[in-house]
Structure 1
């Protein structure tokens, strides 16, 4: 992720602050979890904790991105993902992923985003777990809800050459009550025709945006040369987690 000039960074930073009041509360969770309604005591405890407890890591989440993922090895398993992110430094971003942007949103998983510079330092096998963001940016399917178009464009200039590693812990496209099974590795789309048009249309309608217009607006953003190793699924190198019985003690565990 290249260094930005001070004025450039300041404009983006100020624009990102607007995310606390823009681009939210228009996408409800698709999940209906079993459980009793909150009691008055629970609500009082929540209200008190909200006022008293420090939530520094949450307050640092100044970036909101909306895009789409699919299960590594299953291109048809597609879903929208709302990312709330913290820029730890110029080369590293961490995101918590939700299935909506309201108070009822369920945590779907996490994504780590690194600059091209850091991605190049990863071992070859590790790179196979990561996906590029060039198509998501250039196609207009990755958006920053609530940001002015100019600020969003500058943010996308930074993201176009980055790489992400994503795991979903709650598969809300199919597990509509509780998080079942184990985490799954997710990938990002790399070509037109892969992502279902219906998902994009529904998203654009809710946010009152136009993906084709965003694609056109980003036409001037150079497409980076991809670092070999990312998007390994395209070469048939599928990596996915599975549950297995552990016969030997895990590292650090006593016999």
Structure 2
């Protein structure tokens, strides 16, 4: 498609969106981004080095799966660096081969018990307790999409790991 045609399409889309907003419909249409209201932070391990903490913005998509978009900070232009899936232990341990589970997945109960996870939202004490109990019954896998200190994503994808899982397998970091 020619660049002029693409610009014209963007312009028309922008005008159409603005027209909807001025017509009294100030609410954007529903999207898959709605509902990422759970906010927690936790560090990760990449190549034996602790990095982060990363800001996880999460939402449950069904009773067995929570999906999270991870950022380096809370700034509006923060880089999205990772995606994490939290899957009920019952489902993950039934579906994922043992070798992959051991290498790539981590137990959230173990991670929470390290004290490195911080819940920023929700803030109500009972809601935090309910969230922690729910997440503790899941295993997680983290797809790291933007290499540490790289200026842009380069197409490589690696599996980040929770600090607790790494230390359980390899010993304390820095020893």
TM-score range for the pair, normalised by the shorter chain length: 0.7 to 0.9
Contact in 1 for aligned 2:50/2:163 (Cα 8 Å): no
Change over 3 Å in CA distance of 1:77–1:142 after alignment to 2: closer
Query: RCO greater where, 1 or 2, for CA within 8 Å and sep 6 or more?
Result: 1
Residue 170, structure 1, aligned to residue 128, structure 2? no
For structure 2, list consecutive stretches of 5 or more residues without a partner in the other structure: 1-9
Residue 124, structure 1, aligned to residue 98, structure 2? yes
Change over 3 Å in CA distance of 1:66–1:77 after alignment to 2: closer
The one of 91, 94, 98 equivalent to 2:67 is 94
Does the residue aligned with 1:104 lie in a helix, a strand or coil? coil
How well do the aligned residues superpose, as a CA RMSD in angstroms? 3.0
Whole-Å separation in 2 of the counterparts to 1:153 and 1:138: 13
Residues matched between the structures, number: 151
Aligned to 2:4: none
Whole-Å separation in 2 of the counterparts to 1:170 and 1:55: 28
Whole-Å separation in 2 of the counterparts to 1:77 and 1:140: 15
The one of 113, 116, 119 equivalent to 1:144 is 119
Structure ranking higher in strand proportion: 2
Aligned to 1:133: 108
For structure 1, list consecutive stretches of 5 or more residues without a partner in the other structure: 1-40, 195-230, 237-255
Aligned to 1:114: 87
Q: Report the Cα offset of residue 58 of structure 1.
A: 0.7
Whole-Å separation in 1 of the counterparts to 2:71 and 2:30: 18
The one of 31, 38, 51 equivalent to 1:63 is 38
Residue 184, structure 1, aligned to residue 158, structure 2? yes
- The TM-score with structure 2 as length reference comes to 0.72
Whole-Å separation in 2 of the counterparts to 1:59 and 1:110: 16
Whole-Å separation in 1 of the counterparts to 2:27 and 2:153: 30
The one of 142, 154, 158 equivalent to 2:134 is 158
Q: Report the Cα offset of residue 82 of structure 1.
A: 1.0
